[in-house]
Amino acid sequence: MCSIHTVIPHPLFCCCYETLNGKCLALRTNITSFSKAMSENGALPLRGKVLTLDTMNANVKKVDYAVRGPIVQRAVQIEKELKEGVKKPFEEVIKANIGDAHAMGQRPITFFRQVMALCTYPQLLDDNKFPEDAKNRARRILQSCGGNSIGAYTTSQGIDCVRHDVANYIQRRDGGIPSDPDNIYLTTGASDGIVTILKLLTTGEGRTRTGVMISIPQYPLYSASIAELGAVQINYYLNEEKCWSLDISELQRSLQAAREHCNPCVLCIINPGNPTGQVQSRQCIEDVIRFAAKENLFLMADEVYQDNVYAEGCAFHSFKKVLFEMGPEYSSKVELASFHSTSKCYMGECGFRGGYMEVMNMDPEVKAQLTKLVSVRLCPPAPGQALMDLVVNSPQPGEPSYQTFMKERTAVLSALAEKAKLTEEILNTVPGISCNPVQGAMYSFPRITLPERSINEAKAKGQAPDMFYCMKLLEETGICLVPGSGFGQREGTYHFRMTILPPTDKLKIMLNKLKEFHQKFTQQYS
Amino acid sequence: SLSAKVSAGRLNGKMREKTLTMDTLNPQVKAVEYAVRGPIVIKAGEIEKYLEEGGTKPFSEVIKANIGDAHAMGQQPITFLRQVVALCTFPELMDSPSFPEDAKWRARRILQGCGGHSLGSYSASPGVECIRKDIAAYIEQRDEGVPSDWENIYLTTGASDGIMTILRLLVSGKDSSRTGVMIPIPQYPLYSAAISEMDAVQVNYYLDEDNCWALDINELYRAYQAAKLHCQPKVICIINPGNPTGQVQSKKCIEEVLHFAYEENLFVMSDEVYQDNVYTPDCQFHSFKKVLYEMGPEYFNSVELASFHSTSKGYTGECGFRGGYMEVINMDPEVKAQLVKLLSVRLCPPLAGQAAMDVIVNPPQPDEHSYKQFHQEKSSVLGALADKAKLTEQILNAVPGIKCNPVQGAMYAFPRIFIPPKAVEEAKALGMQPDMFYCLRLLEETGICVVPGSGFGQKDGTYHFRMTILPSIEKLKVLLGKVRDFHISFLKEYSALE
């Protein structure tokens, strides 16, 4: 090649080097002609991919998220086929897999969208079709934004006035127990807050690796995050016979077993539950708090369905409230993070990715680390923050928008309550299906009895038996549900999770189709 | 002190020990630093509060020139963009005569792509399909016909989200096989923060300050070779136009980088969020994708490249919406499936941000009603930025002891400052970086908040700060004047002559 001695010899870079003052001046051939020359000579360098299944982050491979997993991908494919005119035994796919209310026809709350529009396009503040209470809230939010624009970054913890409003809401909700705005962090949906807290907590190696206690069944964000962070998943089983209630003895058992191989330091609860819908009793929440205090566990309370309580005799008790009512011995000690979201309840504003977490009794130095960590992503979406403000600062009696707001809110929640009851009733008339009361949240999680033959066929295919069932259901009826294996369940039991979100008439049709399918399936594989 | 902690922990004679302490906290989180919102900004916030509560300082306001947030500094949103997003948010406005038809049909189109025709539905995890298609069309047009497949487009929660997601896929291995990530010095500290959090290995390659912050291929090679001794370099990150430096890389330079990545088997991450912020007439934005294509099929069909864009910069400055996208080419199909799976856990990026991005890639055309106003607003923003870029460079270069490279693009100046040895000593005695010491003094004396160069990385023994060019031109002149006065007095104070 080149006769001039080089500082950094590299055969492919250049034909000829010169050095000047020790710095290499590469005189190289034109890159494109080099490439062309290579191809022409047939001397194509073999270039494998940098990023393959073998070289990628192994933890990512372990992640599963059934709610948008393989069955949903198939459902989307079928939808495309229907659009292209392919004939199926049904006309439409019913996506009862995900807690997305608007997608199933639920309407947004008018007042919320008015304020959001005013924040987005403040010229509308001059439009007399917008009520004054909406305008006041929009002005207040905008005043708290940089340059009075929701296009500015907010502080990483979230817009100040929104955090104050969230704190006030929590205080009102919890019968006056004080809430400090400084403990409030706005988040990009509740998922964001949950993952952030888990990041802080995950540490150690081998036997000292952080163990995270999660309910079985659970919302698979938890198992997915645990897998990605390389933490240790610790399962505690909810009691299906007792309406999915939480058993302290089961918590104890699971903790003890886990201590053999990891360092359990966090306990996650979803109340009201997902996928089970159970609303924990106050006594149960107290017992859990006592357990967490005794065993030095950081408590994570996922309360995104706090307004979705339907069953008589059930009521939502926030972990924070119960904690404080247990007295200073607990309220000043137990580390608790509680999560809320704009995606559920009566708002159903999933797409805005609004959420918050309230963090109690966090070590101040760790809190500073938390604030630092969230600062790297700058801030949660400002529209989602604005929306959360409206949720916690909704129209009050006497305000112009109050009546319409209450009407809409009540309509949504009562429809959900009806559908919860309807779902439970119809499913329980199906031989081989047993459905616990849907006390809250947005799902039913019925137990299904599967014929032995179907279980064997599934296993032969390398499929979970309830996945096999759900796939068949999808192909034959167009109904998309998520198999219980995606959430976790006791060995040898099978379930599916179905939302109660489709409009009542569609829901009835869906449930009856399900009934027919189950009977047919049972017969087919008997 | 430990004993104080212990006595604070006693209650009813029981030891109160927190589960989550600095000892039990994820050490990777502890390692993370993000200077753009770091200690100096926290201090600036404290001073702001102090002023609000009636405290007196040698200045009446804090000027936050630390962060690339245009609206916070008074830049106005693009009317058309806000109209479309408002229509999407509150579709009742479709009946309003005060909204133009071209905004309405865009809003209708976006809503049709949403579940239940509502911005409140989750979208598919890679984003609304029609928006992905619009982005692909935009990229094809921008790159003069280089094909773009909409299925390679992923909407993200700001560009930061996409960057972190790709890094998460890439980081693997242990000890000497641990993934090395090549990043420019100076860099935007999202990269170093992500690397710390993921416990990857940071591999620095120095940009050439004497050559207007150009990328030197020999320096890339040096960094790579040195890194191979202790890690497995797998990815190279480039920011073009640069942050904090503002340099706009030449086409030749981009070619060299791509060739290097091809030869050394590196995944290329090209952060192009400032692609619309190019001010110097003899500079031009060349997308990595386009250059790769022009290098021929051998390169174009093999180099794994992820390119990032955002709604936060450019001429729209919509930071709060957290809109962004990435285009990922030549990714192994099995890895792609893993990527989609990973994205699905967080469900989807915010719909308002997706809508904003759609307007950016599908703006009013010359034959449309809103074009005139749109074009005027866009030109006004970009023209002002170009003016401010030039002004900043000029004024700073007139200060003895400050040297500022031309601000070719982006939104920042990153001048080199001479800090007298006595000041360096005093800083070190305080346990502080010398440029942090300087910037804190600047903040305390003038209210101006900038970020020390140590937050971005710089050659040993050199000092810089990053300031934005975003304040209004009047305010910017005042700011620069104050910086000049401060620097001169700082030099005097710490001069070697007694």
Pairing state between β B232-239 and B179-185:
parallel
Instruction: Give the residue among B154, B164, B160 at the shortest CA–CA distance from B127.
Output: B154
**pLDDT by residue (tens digit) across B197-253?**
999 999 999 999 999 999 999 999 999 999 999 999 999 999 999 999 999 999 999
* 3 state DSSP class of B458: coil
In the predicted structure, residue A20 carries a pLDDT above the cut 70: no
A-chain residue closest to B38, CA distance: A372
Does residue B143 or residue A40 have the better pLDDT?
Answer: B143
Q: Which of B14, B36, B75, B90 to mutate to test the interface with A (most CBs of A within 10 A)?
A: B90
Tally Cβ neighbours within 10 Å of residue B496.
7
* 3 state DSSP class of A86: coil
B-chain residue closest to A156, CA distance: B37
User: Confidence class of residue B18 from pLDDT cuts 50, 70 and 90?
Assistant: confident
**pLDDT by residue (tens digit) across A442-494?**
999 999 999 999 999 999 999 999 999 999 999 999 999 999 999 999 999 99
Residues in A touching B32 (Cβ below 8 Å)? 372-373, 376
Q: Decide: A299 and A289 in contact? Cβ < 8 Å.
A: yes
Contact B118 A369 (CB under 8 A): no
* Helices B351-361 & B79-89 angle (0-180, nearest 10): 140
**pLDDT by residue (tens digit) across B419-457?**
999 999 999 999 999 999 999 999 999 999 999 999 999
**pLDDT by residue (tens digit) across B143-201?**
999 999 999 999 999 999 999 999 999 999 999 999 999 999 999 999 999 999 999 99
Report pTM.
Answer: 0.93
**Alpha-carbon torsion angle A270, A272, A276, A279, nearest 10:** 120
Nearest to A378 among B27, B86, B160 (CB): B160
What's the Cα-to-Cα distance from A177 to each of A96, A168, A206, A296, rounded to whole Å?
A: 38, 10, 41, 24
Compute the distance between CA of residue B292 and CA of residue B23 in angstroms, rounded to an integer.
47
Q: Which distant-in-sequence residues (6+ apart) come within 8 Å of A172 by Cβ?
A: none
Compute the distance between CA of residue A54 and CA of residue A48 in angstroms, rounded to an integer.
12
**pLDDT by residue (tens digit) across A357-394?**
999 999 999 999 999 999 999 999 999 999 999 999 99
Strands, E assignment, B16-132: 63-64
What's the Cα-to-Cα distance from B370 to each of A166, A209, B110, B386, rounded to whole Å?
A: 39, 58, 18, 24
Characterise A381 by phi-psi region: left (phi > 0), alpha (psi -120 to 50), beta (else): beta
Residues in A touching B157 (Cβ below 8 Å)? 188, 353, 377, 381
Q: Is the N-terminal amide bond of B97 cis, ω within 30° of 0? A: no
Tally Cβ neighbours within 10 Å of residue B390.
15
How far is B89 from chain A, CA to nearest CA, in Å?
Answer: 6
Q: Please write down the long-range contacts of A509-514, taking CB distance under 8 Å and 24 or more positions apart.
A: A510/A94, A510/A96, A510/A479, A511/A422, A511/A423, A511/A426, A511/A427, A512/A426, A513/A477, A513/A479, A514/A427, A514/A430, A514/A473, A514/A477, A514/A479
Q: Where are the domains of chain B?
A: 28-74+374-496, 122-361
Contact B160 A332 (CB under 8 A): no
Contact A296 B123 (CB under 8 A): no
What is the mean pLDDT of the segment spanning A269-288?
A: 97
What is the mean pLDDT of the segment spanning A231-248?
A: 96
Contact B25 A200 (CB under 8 A): yes
Contact A103 B121 (CB under 8 A): yes
Compute the distance between CA of residue B40 and CA of residue B29 in angstroms, rounded to an integer.
20
Nearest to B321 among A328, A375, A383 (CB): A383
Q: Which of A40, A353, A370, A412 to mutate to test the interface with B (most CBs of B within 10 A)?
A: A353
Pairing state between β A479-480 and A94-95:
parallel
Residues in B touching A329 (Cβ below 8 Å)? 11-12
DSSP bridge partners of A227: none
Q: Same topology for domains B28-74+374-496 and B122-361, yes or no?
A: no
Q: Decide: B163 and B190 in contact? Cβ < 8 Å.
A: yes
Angle at A219 between CA A215 and CA A224, to 5 degrees: 100
How far is B301 from chain A, CA to nearest CA, in Å?
Answer: 11
Residues in B touching A47 (Cβ below 8 Å)? 262, 265, 302
**pLDDT by residue (tens digit) across A128-151?**
999 999 999 999 999 999 999 999
In the predicted structure, residue A17 carries a pLDDT above the cut 60: no
How far is A104 from chain B, CA to nearest CA, in Å?
Answer: 6
Direct distance between the N- and C-terminal alpha carbons of chain A, in angstroms, rounded to an integer:
77
Q: Give one DSSP letter per residue of A18-81, joined into a string.
A: EEETTEEEEE---HHHHHHHHHHHT-PPP---SS-TTTS-HHHHH---GGGSHHHHHHHHHHHH
B-chain residue closest to A12, CA distance: B263
Residues in A touching B346 (Cβ below 8 Å)? 188-189, 191-192, 195
Q: Which of A31, A114, A343 to mutate to test the interface with B (most CBs of B within 10 A)?
A: A31
Compute the distance between CA of residue A226 and CA of residue A211 in angstroms, rounded to an integer.
9
How far is B481 from chain A, CA to nearest CA, in Å?
Answer: 23
Q: Decide: B330 and B304 in contact? Cβ < 8 Å.
A: yes
Compute the distance between CA of residue B333 and CA of residue B300 in angstroms, rounded to an integer.
16
What's the CATH number for A63-92+404-525? 3.90.1150.10
**pLDDT by residue (tens digit) across A503-515?**
999 999 999 999 9
Q: Which distant-in-sequence residues (6+ apart) come within 8 Å of B132 by Cβ?
A: B126, B150, B151, B153, B154, B155, B325
- Return the residue matching tokens 């962090």: A185
- The domain B28-74+374-496 having CATH identifier 3.40.50.300: the answer here is no
State the complex-level ipTM: 0.95
Q: Specify the DSSP class assigned to residue B77.
A: P
How far is A66 from chain B, CA to nearest CA, in Å?
Answer: 9
Compute the distance between CA of residue A475 and CA of residue A480 in angstroms, rounded to an integer.
9
DSSP bridge partners of A482: A497
How far is B317 from chain A, CA to nearest CA, in Å?
Answer: 7
**What is the predicted pLDDT for the residue at A11?**
37
- Amino acid letter at B372? K
- The domain A110-393 having CATH identifier 3.40.640.10: the answer here is yes
Residue B89 backbone dihedrals phi, psi, to 5 degrees? -70, -40
Q: Is the N-terminal amide bond of A264 cis, ω within 30° of 0? A: no
Residue A232 backbone dihedrals phi, psi, to 5 degrees? -105, 125
Contact A116 B90 (CB under 8 A): yes
Compute the distance between CA of residue A478 and CA of residue A355 in angstroms, rounded to an integer.
33
Contact A266 B296 (CB under 8 A): no
Compute the distance between CA of residue B381 and CA of residue B357 in angstroms, rounded to an integer.
18
Tally Cβ neighbours within 10 Å of residue A466.
24
Instruction: Give the residue among A366, A298, A311 at the shortest CA–CA distance from A337.
Output: A298
Q: Which of A12, A50, A148 to mutate to test the interface with B (most CBs of B within 10 A)?
A: A50
Pairing state between β A496-499 and A443-444:
antiparallel
- Return the residue matching tokens 């993952």: A195
Instruction: Give the residue among A518, A115, A147 at the shortest CA–CA distance from A352.
Output: A115
Residues in A touching B169 (Cβ below 8 Å)? 51, 56-57, 60
Contact A8 B222 (CB under 8 A): yes
How far is A165 from chain B, CA to nearest CA, in Å?
Answer: 20
Nearest to B322 among A48, A147, A381 (CB): A381
Tally Cβ neighbours within 10 Å of residue A211.
25
A-chain residue closest to B174, CA distance: A57
Compute the distance between CA of residue A291 and CA of residue B49 in angstroms, rounded to an integer.
41
In the predicted structure, residue A30 carries a pLDDT above the cut 60: no
Residues in A touching B45 (Cβ below 8 Å)? 155
* 3 state DSSP class of A101: coil
**HSE-CB for B489 with a 13 A CA cutoff:** 10
Compute the distance between CA of residue B404 and CA of residue B389 in angstroms, rounded to an integer.
11
Contact B344 A69 (CB under 8 A): yes
**What is the predicted pLDDT for the residue at B11?**
41
Q: Where are the domains of chain A?
A: 63-92+404-525, 110-393
Tally Cβ neighbours within 10 Å of residue B155.
28
Contact B17 A154 (CB under 8 A): no
Contact B345 A191 (CB under 8 A): yes
Contact B320 A382 (CB under 8 A): yes
Residue A20 backbone dihedrals phi, psi, to 5 degrees? -130, 120
In the predicted structure, residue A36 carries a pLDDT above the cut 70: no
Residue A478 backbone dihedrals phi, psi, to 5 degrees? 80, 5
Compute the distance between CA of residue A17 and CA of residue A248 in angstroms, rounded to an integer.
74
How far is B498 from chain A, CA to nearest CA, in Å?
Answer: 39
Percentage with pLDDT > 90 across chain B: 94
Q: Decide: B87 and A316 in contact? Cβ < 8 Å.
A: no
Nearest to A50 among B164, B266, B352 (CB): B266
Instruction: Give the residue among B81, B51, B46 at the shortest CA–CA distance from B353.
Output: B81
**What is the predicted pLDDT for the residue at A48?**
82
Contact A149 B77 (CB under 8 A): yes
Residues in B touching A24 (Cβ below 8 Å)? 218
What is the mean pLDDT of the segment spanning A182-189?
A: 98
Q: Is the N-terminal amide bond of A217 cis, ω within 30° of 0? A: yes
**What is the predicted pLDDT for the residue at B165?**
97
Residues in B touching A39 (Cβ below 8 Å)? 296, 298
In the predicted structure, residue B12 carries a pLDDT above the cut 50: no
Q: Decide: B121 and A351 in contact? Cβ < 8 Å.
A: yes
The CATH class for the domain spanning B122-361 reads alpha beta
Contact A221 B168 (CB under 8 A): no
What is the mean pLDDT of the segment spanning B276-295?
A: 97
Number of cross-chain residue pairs from A and B with Cβ atoms under 8 Å apart: 321
